[in-house]
Amino acid sequence: MLAKRIIPCLDIRDGQTVKGINFLNIREVGDPVEMGATYAREGADELVYLDITATHENRKLFADLVQKIAAHLNIPFTVGGGINTIRDVDPLLDAGADKITINSAAVREPGLITAIAKAYGSQFMVVAIDAKNIHNEWFVFVNGGRIKTGRKLFEWAAEAEQRGAGEILFTSMNHDGTKNGYACEATALLSEKLGIPVIASGGAGEMVHFRDVFTQGKADAALAASIFHFNEIGIGELKKYLRGEKIPVRL
């Protein structure tokens, strides 16, 4: 069985790492280069950096930041935010990113997934999906969770895979920042329906939540932010716990 991955996520705004709850109440928590290097030393398997206020004006600044991050990391990292055309991909990969992730732009123009997959390969592309459970139906949201679309989570994830996505990063907006656990049921359904890895995001608060999302949720990787940013759980400590729970992880 492949090892399960632990992935700290760093949301970037104006060059600083920030964190919110349910996509709101955002505050700064630290320097993304230093934090990334620390997580790598502690045993993180990968990192995700998301420019949450990406605009055309600050895209070059983000590429410069990616270059600094790459110089201090020895683990793979994914970057996203403001990738609206295939032309936006080259500067990030050239700067040292291992993968890119697209979210809102993919929903608006699904052909972008196909184009990037053909140009760079599916292994470089993660399709992120922000979804909220409303009256027992999971709807896809865009623009940082601000705009509800008519798309349904499971149908959209299946289309993304068919178009060439290499992984799906699923964030439950209902669970994001709450520390009450991941959306295990929805994650398990995604994992069963798809033939590509599923990264679970939103809701990590205790070590048992990681165990549950790997067992009940059948996730391939678990992403978290605040519990790592505020030193509530150490990555090494978490991995030893998971190993004790018979979950395959790299120590």
Identify whether 130 is a catalytic site residue. Answer: yes
Residue 54 is predicted with a pLDDT of 64
Show Cβ contacts of residue 24 under 8 Å, excluding neighbours closer than 6 positions: none
DSSP 8-state secondary structure symbol assigned to residue 68: H
**Rounded Cα gap, residues 165 and 227, in angstroms:** 28
Per-residue model confidence (pLDDT) at position 39: 96
At 185 the pLDDT is: 98
Q: What is the DSSP letter of 88?
A: G
Question: What pLDDT is stored for residue 13 in this prediction?
Answer: 83
> Which among 10, 82, 88, 20 is positioned nearest to 46, based on CA atoms?
10
Count of CB atoms within 10 A of residue 158's CB? Answer: 16
CB 97 within 8 A of CB 79: yes
Please give the structure tokens belonging to residue 89. 């991909």
How crowded is residue 136: how many other Cβ atoms within 10 Å of its Cβ?
Answer: 5
The pTM of the full predicted model, rounded to 2 decimals, is 0.94
DSSP label at residue 4? P
List, as one string, the DSSP characters of 207-242: HHHHHHHHHTS--SEEEESHHHHTTSS-HHHHHHHH
pLDDT at 29 (0 to 100): 77
What residues does each domain of the chain span?
Answer: 5-244
Q: In a structure prediction context, what are the per-residue pLDDT tens digits for the chain, which is 251 residues long?
A: 789 999 999 988 878 888 765 555 666 778 999 999 999 999 999 999 998 776 555 667 788 999 999 999 999 999 998 899 999 999 999 999 999 999 999 999 999 999 999 999 999 999 999 999 999 999 999 987 889 999 999 999 999 999 999 999 999 999 988 899 999 999 999 999 999 999 999 999 999 999 999 999 999 999 999 899 989 999 999 999 999 999 999 99
Q: What is the predicted pLDDT for the residue at 62?
A: 85
The neighbour count for residue 23, using CB atoms within 10 Å, is 19
Residue of 123, 9, 13, 21 lying closest to 61 (CA atoms)? 13
The answer to whether 14 is a known catalytic residue is no
Indicate which residue of 51, 88, 130, 212 is catalytic.
130
Tokens 């519990």 identify what position?
Answer: 227
Q: Which CATH architecture describes the domain 5-244? A: Alpha-Beta Barrel (3.20)
**Who's near 159: CB < 8 A, 6+ residues apart?**
110
Parallel, antiparallel or unpaired: strands 147-152 and 137-142: antiparallel
pLDDT for 21 equals: 56
- Inter-residue contact 141 to 171 (CB < 8 Å): no
